[in-house]
Amino acid sequence: MARKGENIFKRKDGRWEARYVKGRERSGKIRYGFCYGKTYREAKEKVTKAKLDMKNQAPLHTSRDRMPFSSFCDEWLALRRCEIRESTYVKYSMILEKYVKPRLGKYIPPALDTKKIEEFKWELLDVDGLAPKTVKDILLVLRAVLNHTAKQFPGLFQIPEFHYPKIERKEMRVLSPDEQQRLTTYLLSEIDDCRFGILLALLTGMRLGELCALRWGNVSVQERTIRICETMQRLKNTDQKSAAKTRLWVGNPKSDTSCRVIPLSDSVAELCGKMEKKDPAAYLLTGTKESMEPRTLQYRLEKYARECGIAEIHFHTLRHSFATRCMETGFDLKSLSEILGHANTSITLDRYVHSSLELKRANMNKLPTLNL
């Protein structure tokens, strides 16, 4: 006689049917297997053998195979937290909470096939109107979570194909020599701590966050060097107990190579000596122990640029302009790459060196001339 919970029962045609869980569809629906026998004992022996064969051929299914994808997102982020910078953690958290989990979090992982990923991609591009670069960043995080998820079900879940959107490369704004001279003259005309900091960034290639976090204790006028060891960012506040939505974060720069020593030219070192504060804990941009956050500094730069007739300028424009001026004067590429804090010289060449038409023409004139 069949026992309760065995899922073995007698059919109307006289045969015994034994049912067992064979797997799940992509939608999450249970997929059953069936065994038949002339007697209860035969049906039970067959289903027992079928379960044993399934157990030997594949890993045991647990409650994890019914977990929604949002749970794996949280699990992946928690595992990565101790490996990544705080700013990177906040970025990943925002991507998962704002884009991935609301649209894909309810599905079980096997349902996330290539078609579903493509639909998600086009929603981000067409519905949300996000830039291709932003969409690619989101997809890279999604793929990392799916890689983690696939490891939980070896042989049962394959990572879908990803087709990233094409990113059109935009030429970065670089100050012309005339614009750079105008900005330099303007900053020097009524120089204060903030104007001095902006001029220093233009002459050293420092990043916005690096300048905001720079204290006078990291500037050596005698050795003519600046030591970059911190950066500043305003991040989303992940502390649920705090009412503030954002917080000012100071920590290590974006990579190991970003921690560096920048040598100063004689004239820049002389200017540093005139502006130097006695308190090594004072921030360079304010001259006090109170910092200036990146957004405020960006607004100041835009104001100064407007007043001297320079349009479409961002703080990163100063960094690109510095790199371009260095290459125009024949600067050694390896040295420039290290001053900028890049991991390798290819980054410097691909992203930060912009040849002007005048420089291209000068190089063309170095070629052998025609004897006309």
* Span 6-59, pLDDT tens digits: 788 888 888 999 888 877 665 556 778 899 999 998 999 888 888 887 766 644
Question: Is residue 170 domain-resident?
Answer: no
Same domain, 79 and 38: no
3-state secondary structure of 309: coil
Virtual torsion, Cα 349, 320, 136, 66, nearest 10 deg: 100
CA distance 214 to 206: 10
Domain count, the chain: 3
Same domain, 52 and 112: no
Contact in structure between 73 and 105 (CB atoms under 8 Å) = yes
pLDDT at position 252 = 82
Contact in structure between 326 and 319 (CB atoms under 8 Å) = no
Same domain, 84 and 233: no
148-166: per-residue pLDDT in tens? Answer: 988 877 766 778 889 999 8
Question: Is residue 163 domain-resident?
Answer: no
E strand spans, 272-335: none
Q: Is the pTM of this model over 0.75?
A: no
Question: How confident is residue 124, by pLDDT bands cut at 50, 70 and 90?
Answer: very high
243-302: per-residue pLDDT in tens? Answer: 778 888 888 887 777 889 999 999 999 999 999 999 999 999 999 999 999 999 999 999
Percent of the chain with pLDDT strictly greater than 90: 50
Question: Is residue 108 domain-resident?
Answer: yes
Beta bridge partners of residue 8, listed in sequence order: 18
Question: Which of 57, 74, 93 is the C-terminal boundary of a domain?
Answer: 57
Same domain, 53 and 78: no
Mean pLDDT for 304-322 is 92
With a cut of 70, say whether residue 109 has pLDDT above it. Answer: yes
Same domain, 189 and 312: yes
Question: Is residue 258 domain-resident?
Answer: yes
Question: Is residue 31 domain-resident?
Answer: yes
Q: How far is CA 43 from CA 3, 22, 55, 65, 282, in A?
A: 13, 16, 18, 28, 82
Question: How confident is residue 60, by pLDDT bands cut at 50, 70 and 90?
Answer: very low
Same domain, 321 and 248: yes
Q: What are the tokens at 31?
A: 């997929």
39-49: per-residue pLDDT in tens? Answer: 998 999 888 88
Which CATH number do you get for residue 304?
1.10.443.10
Q: How far is CA 300 from CA 117, 248, 268, 294, 297, in A?
A: 42, 18, 21, 10, 5
Contact in structure between 212 and 330 (CB atoms under 8 Å) = no
* Structural domain containing residue 92: 66-152
Same domain, 93 and 129: yes
Same domain, 246 and 348: yes
Question: Which of 135, 152, 169 is the C-terminal boundary of a domain?
Answer: 152
Same domain, 320 and 337: yes
pLDDT at position 59 = 46
Same domain, 181 and 319: yes
Same domain, 137 and 96: yes
Same domain, 44 and 182: no
Question: Which H or E run contains 21?
Answer: strand 16-24
Place of tokens 């703080």: 315
3-state secondary structure of 261: strand
